[in-house]
């Protein structure tokens, strides 16, 4: 049976992955028209800031930000476990490196390694007993974290897929994994590093007690925010298929501060669950998934912020959308 012939030939698409978009399938629509509530339409028509924020929300929503964040959290959960096996396998012969890695994990997720958590010796044993194929599988699983982030940002940016060949694509993602992983580790150890640096200086000038603690905490937060901002800028500039022209660093610092708050809150939650035997069996996996989901939401929301800022005249575009009544649901 031959395929049906369309009534009108489709216009040719310009070259490039950004031109390849999905169209709705042929059939009867089941959803009602996509019309904004009257109060929302009135607000965005009168207040420029609200119109801009509505465009940001629509960019995040239509780019499936929440769904992508769930997918990133899923891949991150298994990718981190694979990465831990690889990391402890390669640093096992260097005690200082193993101590540094354990310290980073203790700062990020207290209790994930050591007594009551994952035994580093078991991770090392798993890695050393695996063959080449097993190590490649673990490496591919770790790379899946960056792949999920890349695909999530592409949806927000409106770029459907990456056209590179399989090997080149994965080597490129591996490079970004090796670049971003130490930065994220530095972000988690910023508080302890800042305390070790500034506490002697504050004590030398006679500042101590609560004031010193507040200054050290503020310094650690600032350092963590700066490192997180660098991570976000790298993701938004090098992943996603498009390098936006504006707002990368401004949005990066906003997202970096939000990531620092997420990291701080998750650390407190994990510390609570580890010290409570009733929650220890499932508290840590839940905390890991919540951490990855929250961090993914921040990352994709920041990508939507940058994408909205780079739209041509976003406020007027938002207003033009609101006055189109009814507005059909986009496919």
Q: Answer yes or no: are the C-beta atoms of 247 and 306 closer than 8 Å.
A: yes
Its pTM stands at 0.75
**Structure confidence at residue 331 (pLDDT):** 43
For 101, 118, 329, the CA distances from 83, given in Å and listed in that order, are 12, 13, 41
How many whole angstroms separate alpha carbon 54 and alpha carbon 189? 36
- Is the CB of residue 161 less than 8 Å from the CB of residue 154? yes
Buried b (16+ CB within 10 A) or exposed e, 66-104: eebbbbbbbbbbebbbbbbbbbbbebbeeeeebeebbeb
- pLDDT score recorded for residue 327: 47
Instruction: Name the residue among 306, 284, 267, 326 with its Cα closest to residue 63.
Output: 306
Burial degree of 326 (CB within 10 A; 0-12, 13-18, 19+):
exposed
CB 50 within 8 A of CB 44: yes
Q: Which two tokens stand for residue 187?
A: 């972000």
**Beta-ladder partners of 113:** 118
Residue 24 is predicted with a pLDDT of 72
Buried b vs exposed e over 255-270: b needs ≥16 C-beta within 10 Å?
bbbbbbebbeebbebb
pLDDT score recorded for residue 56:
87
Burial degree of 21 (CB within 10 A; 0-12, 13-18, 19+): exposed
pLDDT score for 164: 82
Rounded Cα distance, 318 and 53, in Å: 9
* Per-residue pLDDT, 95: 63
Supply the pLDDT for residue 130.
Answer: 65
Q: Which residues contact 179 (CB under 8 A, 6 or more apart)?
A: 234
What pLDDT, on a 0 to 100 scale, did the predictor assign at position 301? 93
Q: Give dist(CA 18, CA 320) in Å, integer.
A: 23
Q: 3-state SS of 69-132?
A: HHHHHHHHHHHHHHHHHHHHHHHCCCHHHHHHHHHHHHHHCCCCECCCCECHHHHHHHHHHCCH
pLDDT, position 2: 47
In this predicted structure, what is the pLDDT of residue 300? 92
Q: What is the pLDDT of residue 302?
A: 92
Per-residue pLDDT of the chain (331 residues; tens, 9 = 90+): 444 454 555 555 455 545 455 677 788 888 787 777 777 777 777 777 777 888 888 889 888 889 999 888 888 888 877 777 777 777 666 666 666 666 666 666 666 666 655 666 666 666 666 666 667 777 888 888 888 899 899 888 888 777 888 888 888 888 888 888 888 877 777 766 665 566 666 666 666 666 666 777 777 788 888 888 999 999 998 888 888 888 888 888 898 889 888 888 877 776 666 666 665 566 677 777 888 888 899 999 999 999 888 876 655 555 555 554 444 444 4
Rg (C-alpha) for the chain, rounded Å, is: 24
């Amino acid at each position: 049976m031959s395929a049906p012939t369309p009534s009108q030939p489709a216009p040719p698409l310009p070259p490039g992955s950004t031109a390849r978009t999905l169209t709705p399938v042929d059939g009867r629509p089941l959803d009602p028209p996509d019309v904004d509530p009257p109060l929302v339409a009135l607000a965005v028509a009168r207040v420029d800031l609200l119109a801009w924020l509505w465009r940001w929300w629509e960019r995040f929503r239509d780019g499936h930000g929440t769904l992508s964040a769930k997918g990133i959290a899923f891949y991150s959960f298994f990718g981190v476990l694979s990465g831990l096996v690889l990391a402890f396998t390669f640093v096992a012969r260097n005690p200082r490196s193993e101590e540094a890695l354990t310290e980073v994990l203790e700062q990020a997720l207290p209790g994930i390694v050591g007594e009551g958590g994952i035994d580093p010796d078991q991770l090392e044993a798993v890695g050393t007993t695996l063959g080449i194929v097993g190590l490649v599988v673990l490496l591919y699983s770790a790379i899946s974290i960056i792949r999920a982030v890349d695909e999530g940002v592409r949806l927000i940016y409106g770029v459907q897929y990456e056209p590179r060949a399989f090997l080149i694509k994965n080597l490129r993602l591996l490079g970004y994994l090796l670049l971003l992983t130490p930065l994220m580790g530095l972000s988690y150890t910023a508080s302890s590093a800042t305390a070790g640096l500034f506490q002697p200086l504050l004590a030398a000038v006679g500042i101590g007690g609560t004031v010193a603690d507040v200054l050290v905490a503020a310094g650690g937060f600032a350092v963590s925010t700066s490192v997180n901002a660098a991570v976000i800028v790298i993701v938004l500039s090098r992943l996603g298929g498009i390098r936006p022209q504006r707002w990368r660093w401004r949005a990066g610092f906003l997202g970096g501060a939000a990531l620092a708050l997420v990291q701080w809150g998750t650390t407190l939650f994990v510390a609570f669950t580890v010290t409570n035997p009733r929650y220890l069996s499932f508290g840590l996996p839940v905390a890991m998934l919540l951490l990855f989901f929250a961090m993914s939401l921040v990352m994709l929301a920041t990508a939507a912020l940058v994408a909205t800022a780079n739209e041509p005249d976003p406020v007027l575009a938002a207003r033009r959308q609101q006055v189109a009544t009814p507005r059909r649901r986009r496919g």
